């Protein structure tokens, strides 16, 4: 329908079956890489007390300032739909005593998120992220492992060549106290050249001025003091080791001293994957260390690092790269029948084929044989099984190879085994439900 009465809200999309092929494939790749690295899956609720996000992401971040979907309960409690995953994971980590688990605690998620921003290509109001968080380890080797897994996922999705890894360190909170002063001093007197957002942020969160996308702000940022000059020896060492580990792992990166990320919880390592064609506007994913967050949320001092990628953006880049995930939904067999007796015999036949994991459809409706065969063609079925009154009487069934256009009459008994032989035992077989 071109102009339906009801449409989905602005910036919010249906995921249609063709896109679910991408979603399923991405989930499979993510699960595969996370599980083999010892991660376990977590889901946090779609909404949280608004304080969870304010406290963690930061009051002066774009997300908290203007991008949260807020609502109130009848008793006046304030909630927000989750705009990102890390805050909820840290809240759950503390609420469920996960700090008592062997460290590091490694969790991954594949979830919808919500941000009230201006929709455009690659930016939506409901979008999905896959992400992972590692809590309880400060060794830069874990930073390298998290980055390596992100990179390997991009490789297996076929988009790694289209992306660059941007890498920076923003030091510890202690390092940044001095840097904050340096930045405020540098920008004072230059306010007129700043955009409205940057003017406002100068005293709240001056580091955010470094990754503003406005041209004039970028020119000023390029001449601003550099964080390197205030980094402690410990922070430098962490970053040096990380780079050595990435070199060892063969992961290429571009050092980018302007990369600060838009969420306040980061410390030390920050990174993003940028499209070579679209630059920073449409990063597929980003992450970094957040050593102070668990404590800020009421827990013990717990170093941590994580990463999240946008699934819709990943799909966009896969499509641009001409990648089509495997289609596992192709119909194997169409069962056509004529007459009530044939239909009755077809129903258990269909179920037996399905139990072997063979994708089988048909045996419904009242259309003519040619109508049914037309449908089998449209569905691209590999085979058709045709059962008319004569076949029922003779105890046979017609097996038609749809690709070749050839057909033969075969005994009805044994047709299931024959089809399993022709198509092979499939993954969807009921036998596989309990197997890994
Ligand atoms: P983020 O950079 O805000 O980081 O989001 C990660 C990714 O989510 C982005 O690179 C982008 O692909 C996708 N994304 C964000 N907003 C939208 C949107 N409106 N529409 C479509 N895709 C979007 C975080 O969320 C951090 N929690 C990542 C992290 C995990 N850091 C540590 N652990």
Q: What residues does 101 pair with on adjacent strands?
A: none
Residues 160 and 242 both lie in one domain = yes
Q: Which of 143, 117, 112 is nearest to 289 (CA)?
A: 143
Residues 74 and 149 both lie in one domain = yes
Domain boundary among the residues 266, 287, 320 is at 320
Query: Residue 297: inside a domain, yes or no?
Result: yes
The rounded Å distance from CA 71 to ligand 1 centre is: 22
* Cα dihedral 119, 120, 126, 130 sign: negative
Q: Which of 371, 377, 356, 352 is nearest to 421 (CA)?
A: 356
Q: Are 20 and 30 in contact (CB under 8 A)?
A: no
Residues 166 and 141 both lie in one domain = yes
Q: Which residues line ligand 1 (CB under 6 A)?
A: 84-86, 115, 117, 122-124, 127, 129, 131, 133, 263, 283-288, 290, 306-310, 312-313
Q: Looking up tokens 């499979």, which residue turns up?
A: 28
Judged on CB neighbours under 10 Å (0-12, 13-18, 19+), 337 is: buried
Residues 74 and 129 both lie in one domain = yes
Q: What is the pLDDT of residue 432?
A: 76
Residues 116 and 245 both lie in one domain = yes
For the chain (436 residues), the mean pLDDT of every run of 10, in chain order, is 86 95 97 96 98 94 93 97 98 97 97 96 96 98 98 97 96 91 93 91 88 90 90 97 98 94 94 84 92 97 98 95 91 95 95 94 86 94 96 97 96 96 79 73
- How confident is the model over 377-398, as pLDDT tens digits? 999 999 999 999 999 999 999 9
Residues 267 and 416 both lie in one domain = no
Q: What is the CATH number of the domain that holds 415?
A: 3.40.50.800
The rounded Å distance from CA 318 to ligand 1 centre is: 18
Strand 47-49 to 40-41 pairing: unpaired
Q: Give 18-23 contacts, CB < 8 A, sequence gap 24+.
A: 19/315, 21/324, 21/325, 21/326, 21/327, 21/328, 21/329, 22/315, 22/318, 22/319, 22/325, 23/128, 23/311, 23/315
Query: Residue 327: inside a domain, yes or no?
Result: no
Ligand 1: atom nearest CA of 83 is: 25
Structural domains counted in the chain: 2
In which domain, by residue range, is 245 found?
Answer: 17-172+232-320
The rounded Å distance from CA 56 to ligand 1 centre is: 15
Residues 313 and 246 both lie in one domain = yes
The rounded Å distance from CA 19 to ligand 1 centre is: 20
Residues 367 and 420 both lie in one domain = yes
Residues 241 and 369 both lie in one domain = no
- How confident is the model over 315-333, as pLDDT tens digits? 999 999 999 998 888 999 9
Residues 41 and 151 both lie in one domain = yes
Residues 136 and 75 both lie in one domain = yes
Q: Are 233 and 249 in contact (CB under 8 A)?
A: no
Residues 23 and 66 both lie in one domain = yes
The rounded Å distance from CA 249 to ligand 1 centre is: 25
Ligand 1: atom nearest CA of 284 is: 12
Query: Residue 238: inside a domain, yes or no?
Result: yes
Q: Which of 65, 78, 50 is nearest to 117 (CA)?
A: 65
Query: Residue 5: inside a domain, yes or no?
Result: no
Q: Are 317 and 281 in contact (CB under 8 A)?
A: no
Q: Looking up tokens 């009848």, which residue turns up?
A: 74
Ligand 1: atom nearest CA of 131 is: 30
């Amino acid at each position: 329908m071109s102009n339906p009465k009801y449409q989905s809200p602005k910036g919010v999309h249906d995921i249609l079956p063709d896109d679910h092929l991408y979603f399923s494939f991405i989930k499979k790749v993510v699960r595969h890489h996370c599980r083999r690295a010892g991660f376990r899956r977590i889901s946090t609720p779609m909404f949280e007390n608004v304080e969870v996000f304010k406290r963690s992401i930061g009051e002066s971040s774009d997300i908290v300032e203007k991008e949260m979907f807020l609502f109130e309960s009848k008793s006046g409690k304030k909630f927000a739909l989750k705009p990102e995953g890390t805050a909820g994971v840290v809240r759950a980590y503390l609420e469920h005593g996960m700090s008592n688990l062997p460290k590091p605690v490694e969790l991954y998620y594949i979830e919808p998120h919500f941000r009230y921003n201006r929709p455009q290509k690659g930016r939506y109001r409901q979008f999905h992220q896959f992400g992972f968080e590692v809590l309880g380890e400060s060794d830069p080797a874990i930073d390298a492992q998290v980055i390596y897994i992100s990179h390997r996922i991009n490789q297996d999705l076929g988009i790694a060549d289209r992306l660059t890894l941007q890498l920076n360190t923003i030091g510890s909170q202690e390092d940044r106290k001095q840097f904050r002063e340096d930045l405020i001093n540098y920008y004072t007197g230059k306010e007129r050249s700043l955009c409205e957002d940057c003017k406002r942020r100068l005293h709240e969160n001056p580091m955010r001025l470094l990754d503003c996308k406005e041209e004039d702000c970028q020119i000023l940022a390029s001449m601003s003091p550099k964080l390197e000059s205030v980094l402690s020896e410990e922070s430098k060492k962490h970053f040096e080791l990380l780079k050595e580990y990435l070199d060892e792992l063969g992961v290429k990166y571009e050092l980018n001293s302007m990369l600060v990320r838009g969420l306040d919880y980061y410390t030390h390592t920050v990174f993003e994957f940028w499209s070579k064609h679209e630059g920073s506007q449409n990063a597929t994913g980003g992450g970094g260390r957040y050593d102070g967050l668990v404590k800020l949320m009421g827990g013990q001092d717990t170093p941590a690092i994580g990463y999240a990628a946008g699934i819709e953006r990943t799909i966009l880049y896969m499509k641009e790269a001409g990648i089509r995930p495997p289609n596992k939904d192709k119909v194997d067999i169409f069962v056509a029948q004529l007459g009530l007796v044939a239909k009755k015999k077809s129903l258990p036949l269909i179920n037996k084929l399905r139990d072997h994991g063979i994708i089988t459809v048909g045996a419904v409706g009242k259309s003519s044989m040619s109508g049914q065969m037309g449908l089998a063609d449209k569905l691209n079925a590999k085979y058709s099984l045709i059962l008319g009154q004569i076949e029922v009487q003779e105890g046979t069934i017609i097996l038609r190879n749809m690709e070749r256009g050839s057909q033969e009459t075969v005994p009805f008994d044994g047709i299931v085994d024959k089809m399993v032989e022709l198509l092979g035992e499939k993954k969807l077989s009921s036998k596989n439900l309990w197997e890994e």
